[in-house]
Amino acid sequence: SATNFMIRDARMQALVSKEFEPITPLIDRIHEMYEHFGVSTVLVMGGSGDYFSVADTVILMREYAPFEVTGQAKTIAHNVKIGRKTEREFDWQKITERIPLPHSFDASRGKREVKIEARGLHAIQFGRQTIDLQNVEQVVDISQTRAIGYALHFISTHWMDGQRTIREVVQLAAEFLQENGLDALNPFRQGDEHPGQFALPRIFEIAAALNRYRQLKVKQK
């Protein structure tokens, strides 16, 4: 991650004032994420102890063995002052959600009304667009990639109405798959025919693919 997203120490604050730095460091927001949104954070750090003061638990790895050292870390944070100022200018009460616009999704290509294809593990041909899933590490089988592509098409044709948020449409897709199974994703399915070649993705990978669709257009709720 970018260093200034993680932290800005006292020296950098003295050199570059807050008015010229639009990013609020994570260290100044990390507790709000848990208090307001229930989001816990696990950080692996070896070069800065600034997070000692805001950490609820500190685990020290020594020779591949974990040791709980929260008390020691809190004592160090109290005794060794870092001199930085908190840069949180206002409380972070809510996240502005995005509403996907259905007209921005088009799975057609040429004469084919629906052209969806998994091109290897980390690429989906969705109509004329290619969705890049590089670094979405939890996708481990091309059958998941294929299912994600068809899930996006199903989402765009069934639940995108210009009112539901990205979170809501993806959640609806996850619930639908749990109730109806993967077979229901295939638009070419006939009767009880089994489409095959689908594996269940998690809600997070479906959301990741949706956000990586280059033609995605949204409005704020």
Report pLDDT for 12.
94
Whether the Cβ atoms of residue 218 and residue 97 lie closer than 8 Å to each other: no
Report pLDDT for 91.
76
Pairwise CA distance, residues 18 & 155, whole Å: 42
Measured CA to CA in angstroms, residue 136 lies from 24, 149, 160 at distances of: 26, 14, 24
Task: Tell me the domain boundaries of the chain.
Answer: 3-79, 98-220
Cα dihedral across residues 41, 44, 50, 52: positive or negative: positive
Q: Tens of pLDDT along the chain (221 residues)?
A: 688 899 899 999 999 999 999 899 999 999 999 988 899 999 999 989 999 999 999 999 999 999 999 999 999 999 999 899 989 877 777 788 999 999 999 998 888 888 899 999 999 999 999 999 999 999 999 999 999 999 999 999 999 999 999 999 999 999 999 999 888 887 665 555 555 689 999 999 999 999 999 999 999 98
Report pLDDT for 183.
83
Report pLDDT for 68.
98
What are the φ/ψ torsions at residue 208 (nearest 5 degrees)? -60, -45
Report pLDDT for 55.
96
Report pLDDT for 192.
55
Pairwise CA distance, residues 154 & 72, whole Å: 52
Report pLDDT for 120.
94
pTM of the model: 0.72
Six token digits for residue 111: 């004469």
